[in-house]
Structure 1
């Protein structure tokens, strides 16, 4: 487990902050706002992606990549937090088991999101059936990541678990679920626009 935590702490996914000729910050932000309106949490979506405006520049591909990167970083942070909670002294047995189960599902979520970012990198050099294959992988993995996050959240549902441990964890997981839900919506949007030929690479 210590090796996995170390790996997650040193694994950093970055996006190049490049500019595109003819693009302006206001145009990029307008694109982000318009895209985020297709998500379940548009305000959160804009807040999370505004710092990536310089690299997104109206690109559906870069938008999806930024959204998954945000999800990945927050999921990784939640995993590290859960790992620390599992070592807190005085934690109740039922809380400890719920935390351990959550760590397992969040580990899977981190892996799925990491794979999604890598797959999006490959998609920049593909088209046709190759693109569809990579896109299908991304959609599947981001969807799987969200499913695992929801499983973690459900582990703390009900009245049998109450108190600061539950509150601190559920708030973090709820945020992560919302961010990942937004990422999945933007990935699906990218796929639809690409198939219609209206996307910007």
Structure 2
């Protein structure tokens, strides 16, 4: 009897183990594909960042946008400009605060105020850049959708109609001009601090700390725009 009971318990135990094993979910087949897609997107950002002047900064600031960017140069340019616009706004606010410091010599306070004004012009230019690049991204997405619905096999030859190419090229050229103007504004910001008196109260170094980061962001965004322009039909 005892032997029969032991055999029965053993069979029950084996049955429970087998059931638990069968109930265990199998790895999702799509996980590997999703990882591959994420890796491709990340590689896309790194590849474009490698062509910028400050690739490590580019990687760090644009990696959070990888999913949004996908493999679209227009969206990557939009992301770079968005990051730069945010940096410009922060720098403008910081330099205005520096200009308002009561202990600054008048010359230094004036230089900081002029710098804040220059940065404000850069913010306006970058805002136009972001808006225009968003339009470019929408235009390119619309073209892609149209091709998917019509002749995908002819993609390489018919992606750009003459009017679409002209429109995109116009927008990209405008954005490059505005981004270049913003970079000039960033660099001009320090011009007022060349004199010895303007450096009083630590204003020069405080402003430089905000400006140089912005200059690097702007230079990276412009490099991505220039690379994109080379891929846009004339």
Normalised to the residue count of structure 1, the TM-score between the two structures is 0.82
User: Deviations for 1:18-70, whole angstroms, at most 9, x for unmatched residues?
Assistant: xxx97722211111111011111111111111111111111101100000001
Gaps of at least 5 residues in structure 1 are 1-20, 197-201
Aligned match for 2:126, one of 107, 113, 126: 113
Match of 2:212 among 174, 179, 187: 174
Q: 1:108, 1:145 within 8 Å by CA — same for their partners in 2? A: yes
Is 1:144 the equivalent of 2:181? yes
CA drift of 1:90 comes to 1.1
Aligned-pair CA distance for 1:162: 4.9
> Which residue does 2:231 correspond to in 1?
193
Distance 1:163 1:89 in 2: 10
RMSD between aligned residues: 1.8
Query: Once superposed, which parts of structure 1, at least 4 consecutive aligned residues long, lie more than 3 Å away?
Result: 157-160
Aligned to 1:90: 103
Q: Which residue of 2 aligns with 1:131?
A: 168
- If you compute each CA radius of gyration, which structure gives the higher value, 1 or 2? 2
Tell me, which stretches of 5 or more residues in structure 2 are unaligned?
Answer: 1-32, 141-163
| Correspondences of 1:17-56 after superposition (within 5 Å) | 24-56=37-69
Deviation at 1:153, TM superposition (A): 2.4
Bigger drift between 105-114 and 152-161 goes to: 152-161
CA deviations 1:61-100 (Å, max 9, x no partner) are 1100000001000000000111112221111111111111
Separation of aligned partners in 2, 1:38 and 1:122: 24
Provide the C-alpha distance between the structure 1 equivalents of 2:39 and 2:53, rounded to a whole number of angstroms.
Answer: 23
Q: Secondary structure at the match of 2:139?
A: coil
Partner of 2:203: 165
Alignment coverage as a number of residue pairs: 176
